[in-house]
């Protein structure tokens, strides 16, 4: 099956993230979940982003890059929200990427100084009224990435929640989360 590096969101490596990784493992995939916060977790996006402000976005990216260096190059990079930064950077810049799964966020291609690599499929998932995804330019960036990819898919779900696929949080939306997981598994089946 497929080998995946899954980067967590601003709450840290929470049970919601490890639970999602377990869903992928149950489908037969190998999933690595690097801890970009070195064991720290947070109860809110604001608190987690406050921590990122203290350590710096560069540190988050460096930790993600270092975690991937110990793994084969032929992996799928996945990230939830903040975790999209290292996932997208590695998918764009590390030769050998098998694909990218970007949940709740996307950044402009120019952020990492490279076009989307040929032959690397990508899926982006977010909600149409999410103030972070739709309101801060991520949706526009997702359209740009998907348009450049040889095989790109953008899935926009109705709603205004950011962490909508995490059943451990009040923002969970079961119908959208079920679709996200189903589409993710179909993507992973195609990149094997």
For 154-178, b where at least 16 C-beta lie within 10 A, e where not — what string? bbbbebbbbbbbbeebebebeebbe
User: What spatial distance separates the first Cα and last Cα of the chain, rounded to whole Å?
Assistant: 6
- Tell me: pLDDT of 2 over 80: yes
**Cβ contacts of 33 within 8 Å, gap of 6 or more:** 6, 7, 8, 13, 17, 18, 21
Q: Cα(29)–Cα(32) distance, rounded to whole angstroms?
A: 10
- pTM of this prediction? 0.97
Average pLDDT for residues 112-133, to the nearest whole number?
A: 95
Pairing type for strands 122-127 and 152-157 reads: parallel
8 A C-beta contact, residue 163 and residue 16 = yes
pLDDT score of 192? 73
Backbone φ, ψ for residue 80 (5° rounding): -105, 120
The CATH code of the domain that includes 131 is 3.40.50.1820
- Tell me: pLDDT of 88 over 80: yes
Instruction: Domain count for the chain, please give it.
Output: 1
Range of the domain at 42: 3-190
Secondary structure class of 95 (helix, strand, coil): coil
Q: Cα(23)–Cα(64) distance, rounded to whole angstroms?
A: 22
Q: pLDDT (tens digit, 9 = 90+) per residue, 4-20? A: 999 999 999 999 999 99
């Amino acid at each position: 099956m497929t080998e995946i590096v899954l980067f967590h969101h601003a709450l840290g490596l929470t049970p919601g993230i490890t639970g999602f990784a377990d869903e992928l493992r149950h489908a037969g995939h190998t999933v690595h979940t690097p801890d970009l916060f070195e064991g720290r977790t947070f109860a809110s996006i604001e608190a987690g982003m406050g921590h990122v402000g203290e350590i710096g976005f560069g540190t988050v990216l460096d930790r993600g890059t270092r975690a991937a260096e110990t793994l084969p190059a032929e992996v799928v990079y996945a990230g939830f929200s903040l975790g999209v930064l290292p996932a997208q950077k590695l998918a764009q810049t590390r030769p050998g990427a098998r694909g990218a799964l970007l949940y709740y966020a996307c950044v402009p291609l120019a952020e990492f100084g490279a076009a989307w690599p040929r032959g690397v499929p990508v899926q982006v998932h977010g909600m149409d009224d999410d103030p972070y995804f739709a309101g801060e330019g991520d949706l526009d960036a997702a359209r740009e990435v998907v348009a450049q990819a040889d095989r790109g898919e953008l899935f926009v779900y109705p709603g205004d929640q950011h962490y909508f696929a995490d059943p451990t949080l009040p923002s969970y939306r079961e119908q959208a989360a079920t679709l996200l997981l189903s589409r993710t598994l179909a993507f992973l089946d195609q990149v094997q």
